Amino acid sequence: MADQFDLIVVGGGPGGYVAAIRGAQLGMNVAVVEAEHLGGICLNWGCIPTKALLRAAEIHHLLHRLDEFGLAADNIRFDLGKVVKRSRAVAKQLSDGVGYLLKKNKVTVIDGRGRISAPGKVAVELDGKPAGEFTAPHIILATGARARTLPVFEAGGDLVWTYREAMVPDAMPKSLLIVGSGAIGIEFASFYSQMGADVTVVEMLDQILPVEDAEIAAKAAKAFTAQGIKMLTGAEVSQIKKSKSGLTATVVTKDGGQENKVDRMISAVGITGNVENLGAEDAGVTIDRGHITIDEWGATGAAGLYAIGDVAGPPWLAHKASHEGVVVVERLHGLDDTHPLDTSAIPGCTYSTPQIASVGMTEAAAKAAGHELDIGRFPYVGNGKAIALGEPDGLIKTIFDKKTGELLGAHMIGAEVTELIQGYVVAKTHETTREALANTIFAHPTLSEAMHESVLDALGKALHI
Amino acid sequence: MAISVTMPALSPTMTEGKVAAWHKAVGDAVAPGDVLAEIETDKAIMEIEAVDEGTLGKILVAEGTEEVPVNSVIAMILEEGEGQDALDAAVEQAPQIPTPAPTAEPAATPTPTPAPPPVTVAAPSVSPSMGRIVASPLARRMARDAGIDLSTLQGSGPGGRIIKRDVEGRPATAPGSAPATAPIAEQGVVEIPHSGVRKIVAKRLTESWQTIPHIYLNIECELDALLETRARLNQRADGAYKISVNDFIIRAAAFALAKVPAINVRWTDTAMHQLSSIDIAVAVAMEGGLITPIIREADQKGLAEISVEMKDLATRGREGKLMPEEYQGGSFTISNLGMFGIKDFGAIINPPQVAIMAVGAGQKQPVVRDGAVAIATVMACTLSCDHRAVDGAVGATFLKAFKGFIEEPLTMML
């Protein structure tokens, strides 16, 4: 194997493999160093396999609503092993697909753990043994992140899961305590609840889905509670005791402590960058609270060394990592029309039932930034397609700057909003104003009409409410 | 068919104007000579009169609209018997292609011109478009609100698209296009929109100050002989005139210019233009600005004539009623703040002129005459010269000549 490249990407997740493909497209000789699976957490242990699980849960949930649609089925049951197996097969298919894409683009894949051994050099270790040293004028660190754990959870041993174990359960827990109500915690809560578990979510802050708009988060909390999920906000797990049948977690809220006996616990309290054993600090890279510090072009400050994706800080989203990878590569290649990622237009999606999606500023953030706001709201109950689908619970909220008409943020809850959000992301990225959106034609009958109506509502001229 | 009333060209250089006020409302009968509207231009407010008889059918440009291009249709007059149909047809066909601006004496009779052959669009488009500008809707909106001409911006978005950050924090480009509604959050601050006069004063003076290398020459003139002559002349005026010190200054400056024609020039980038006529502009303060009416061929006019003419020009100037040719052009400017007790100051040149003389107050002060201290009334004059056109020695020669005429006023009677 040749050991000299134009570009070496350390990490083959959605940031790294995309950067590698883009580099190859631009004529570079590129290598990707991957320690585990191509496609990273996203494809193997994150975004994709959870969507496969949630699809099963959604169908299961709908099966229990058959009567509403005039349908009937008896003896509804599921085989958890098969559900998990399908999820793993989906992940494998996509991971293999990444291997194929890299091969097609003539990207060299180096198995092993990469480390910066000297400026412009990456030493690779496989199974604890040196597996070569490779050089390139440009090196991108895309090593991703892993679940953060709290010391208190250690007492639970293997009864406390991270997303990894939670994705491949061998049996359905009857009761489950989930700590953390970000996208990961809420998706697992939704999955396990719809598959029949008794789920409790513990959130340290006063609002579930802390990064989402408060109004949407409140609606979500109401919907989850109605489904039987117990939501404890302003709460912390202070103590865990392992017992024969499961574990007992002491949850402290402002009303005092309460003991929760559960079969399993899931820790979803955030993630931390994979910055260890990278040789990054020796190379002159700054690491701040578990993440590599970069500028808007992904540069770390050390010559020829860049970082993208989760290891370079929040938001921890695959699409942000991919986009950063493309930006870095195009920039170092000297393409003229390259632009730093617009952090105000990164969508975020939570694939629970109901789904939650957003882009841009929350109402609170927009107010704090000093904007005077025009806010539009439109409920799914005013949308024909939502009624026909049997999904009348939903809300589309749009936030505009009163003066300029700029779309500052959009926040949605309800069926398929994770697909709908992209309409607003395109609008926001292209700086479409309130008036331009109002003048856009939305197909009938679609859920997206509710997006239009929300904009019209911000202008005080919603039609169907 | 209905008759178009267009934005008149009130001077050869006028390209746009502001509809300051409408004197007639839709439905009012109009007769030739009736004042239809007031148009505010760079320096003056002019009335436009009807030349046709009929009814004011439609006002197309609202009161207060700025930057209305010359020759765009601002209103429609219906002739007797014409109704809505004629109006619709006329609005439909209202011309947007400017007819050639009248050249000779443009401002003397500003009248609505009849509609030229029908073309296309009706609404007066205010901003001329220069090809397609690629900009986001938000950038367009922000630029419009801030009065920024998009064509002056460099786009940093994909494909050179102008986006929000290219507009943010940029100063307005076109003077006067910033909206009157620009918000001021600060308490206790009242926003007063700039008048057309204020804007043009600001623009011209900034341009002058930034582009013209000014030099200043200072001289003191004794006024006692002049004051005595003035008193004697006014005594026998019998109310026909009342000559002011400033009238003497105008005449003395005109005579000095005749003696030193090197200052009676205009500067252009390619050549110096020597002027044959000596036209003295005099700065007059008016509400919200400054105007400089001109005494044409001042060297050919007697003191009484200058005095009467100056009074009339100053009065009408303060009221904003001067015709453009009464304040445009001029070969030299005098700015006199003596009446305010200002002893000495420097003025900014009014291009394309090359000099302006700032005149201070005549004040009694000790002077040394034949080795002894005496009392004299002394007036300080500061000449600002455009050093590109006028060297110090030339300016000094002018001031020496001027001082000579002021101190021996009889020589001005020659």
**A207-239 confidence digits (pLDDT tens):** 999 999 999 999 999 999 999 999 999 999 999
CA distance B140 to chain A (A): 10
In whole angstroms, give the CA distance from residue A413 to residue A351.
10
**Model confidence pLDDT, tens digit, residues B277-317:** 999 999 988 777 788 899 999 999 999 999 999 999 998 88
Is A404 an 8 Å CB contact of chain B? yes
More confident position, A90 or B114: A90
Q: Which residue has the higher pLDDT, A6 or B201?
A: A6
CB of A429 less than 8 A from some CB of B:
no
Q: Is the pLDDT confidence value at B212 over 90?
A: yes
| CA end-to-end span of chain B | 62
Question: Minimal Cα–Cα distance from B132 to chain A, Å?
Answer: 17
What is the pLDDT at residue B33? 77
Say which of A337, A433, A435 has its CB closest to residue B158.
A337
- Look at residues B68, B93, B118 and tell me which one is the last residue of a structural domain: B93
Q: How far is B128 from chain A (nearest CA, A)?
A: 23
CATH of A151-269, one of 3.20.20.300, 3.30.70.100, 3.30.70.2860, 3.50.50.60: 3.50.50.60
Confidence check: pLDDT of B118 > 70:
no
Residue A61: active-site member: no
Could you tell me if A422 and A431 are in contact, meaning their C-beta atoms sit under 8 angstroms apart?
no
**Do B250 and B345 lie in a common domain?**
yes
Judgement on whether residues B70 and B163 belong to the same structural domain of the protein: no
B160 and B246 share one domain: no
B379: in domain = yes
Which of B72, B93, B114 is the C-terminal boundary of a domain?
B93
Cβ contact (<8 Å) for B138 and A337? Answer: no
What pLDDT does B42 receive? 67
Which of A323, A404, A407, A435 to probe the B interface (max B CBs under 10 A)? A404
What pLDDT digit, counting tens, does each position of B314-324 carry? 988 888 788 88
Give the pLDDT score at B123. 35
The model's confidence at residue B148, banded by pLDDT at 50, 70 and 90, is confident
In a domain, B340, yes or no: yes
Please list every residue in chain B whose beta carbon sits closer than 8 Å to the beta carbon of residue A433: 137-138, 141
d(CA B180, CA B173): 15
d(CA A175, CA A248) in angstroms, rounded, equals 11
User: What residues of A are in contact with residue B145 (Cβ under 8 Å)?
Assistant: 403-404
A400: pLDDT strictly greater than 70? yes
Give the gap in angstroms from C-alpha A339 to the nearest C-alpha of chain B. 7
Residue B339, domain CATH: 3.30.559.10
Residues A127-177: pLDDT tens digits? 999 999 999 999 999 999 999 888 888 877 889 999 999 999 999 999 999
Question: Is residue B314 in some structural domain?
Answer: yes
| Chain B nearest C-alpha distance from A404 (Å) | 6
Q: Label residue B57 by pLDDT band (50, 70, 90).
A: confident
C-beta atoms of A404 and B183 within 8 A:
no
Task: Give span(s): CATH 3.50.50.60, chain A.
Answer: 7-147+272-333, 151-269
pLDDT at B86: 67
Contact criterion met (CB below 8 Å) for A8 and A114: yes
The tokens describing A321, both together, are 């990592």
Average pLDDT, chain A: 95
Residue B191 lies in a domain: no
| Residue B271 domain-assigned (yes or no) | yes
**Residue A444, pLDDT score:** 95
Topology classification of domain A7-147+272-333: FAD/NAD(P)-binding domain (3.50.50)
Q: Please, which residues 139-178 of chain B have a Cβ atom closer than 8 Å to chain A?
A: 139, 141-142, 145, 156-159, 163-164
Last residue of a domain, one of B38, B70, B93: B93
Residues B67-84 have a mean pLDDT of 80
Q: Are A143 and A167 in contact (CB under 8 A)?
A: no
111-170 of A, contacting B, C-beta below 8 A = none
Residue B370 or A327, more confident: A327
**Same structural domain for residues B161 and B207?**
no
Closest residue in A to B164 (Cα–Cα): A431
Question: What are A405-438's pLDDT values in tens digits?
Answer: 999 999 999 999 999 999 999 999 999 999 999 9
Cα–Cα distance for residue pair A379/A453, rounded to 1 Å? 9
A241 touches chain B (CB under 8 A): no
Contact with chain B for residue A344, Cβ under 8 A:
no
A431 touches chain B (CB under 8 A): yes
Residues A146/A329, Cβ–Cβ less than 8 Å: no
| Nearest-neighbour CA in chain A from B295: distance (Å) | 50
Q: Do residue B138 and residue A339 have CB atoms under 8 angstroms apart?
A: no
| Domain region containing B69 | 3-93
What percent of chain B has a predicted confidence (pLDDT) above 90? 37
The ipTM estimated for the assembled molecules is 0.74
Average pLDDT over residues B173-196: 60
8 Å CB contact between A33 and A62: no
| CATH code for the structural domain at A354-458 | 3.30.390.30
- Catalytic option among B23, B194, B214, B387: B387
Nearest chain B residue (CA) to A433: B138
* B245 and B368 housed in the same domain: yes
Q: How many pairs of residues across A and B have Cβ atoms under 8 Å apart?
A: 32
Closest chain B CA to residue A370: B185
Decide the pairing of beta strands A395-401 and A373-379: antiparallel
- Distance, CA of A87 to chain centre: 17
Nearest to A199 by CA among A235, A161, A231: A231
Under an 8 A CB cutoff, do B138 and A433 touch?
A: yes
In chain B, whose CA is at the least distance from the CA of A407?
B138
Residue B82 placed within a domain: yes
Please state the domain count of chain B. Answer: 3
Residue with tokens 């398929």: A416
Residue A168: CB atoms within 10 Å:
16
Overall average pLDDT of the B11-32 stretch:
80
Does B95 have pLDDT greater than 70?
Answer: no
Interface of A with B in 211-240 (CB under 8 A): none
Q: Closest Cα of chain A to B69: distance in Å?
A: 27
Taking only the tens place, the pLDDT of each residue in A48-74 is: 999 999 999 999 999 999 999 999 999
B190 occurs within a structural domain: no
Is any Cβ of chain A less than 8 angstroms from the Cβ of B388? no
Give the residue from chain B lying closest to A338, CA to CA.
B158
Contact B141 A404 (CB under 8 A): yes
Residue of B134, B140, B141 to mutate for A, most A C-beta atoms under 10 A: B141
What CATH number is associated with residue B14? 2.40.50.100
Which residues of chain A does B137 touch, with a Cβ-Cβ cutoff of 8 Å?
A: 430-433, 435-436
Average pLDDT of the segment spanning A294-303: 92
- pLDDT range class, residue B107, cuts 50, 70, 90: very low
Reading the block at residue A454, the tokens are 């929300």
At B150-183, the pLDDT tens digits run 888 888 888 888 999 889 888 776 554 444 444 4
Helix (H, G, I), strand (E, B) or coil at A86: helix
Chain A contact set for B159 (CB, 8 A): 337
Higher pLDDT, A184 or B44: A184
Which residues have CB under 8 Å from A82's CB, separation 6+?
Answer: none
Taking an 8 Å cut-off on Cβ atoms, the answer to whether A404 and B159 are in contact is no
Over the stretch B356-406, which tens digit does the pLDDT of each residue have? 999 999 999 999 988 999 999 999 999 999 999 999 999 999 999 999 999
Q: Any residues with CB less than 8 A from the CB of B61 and at least 6 apart, and which?
A: B7, B19, B68, B72, B74, B75, B124
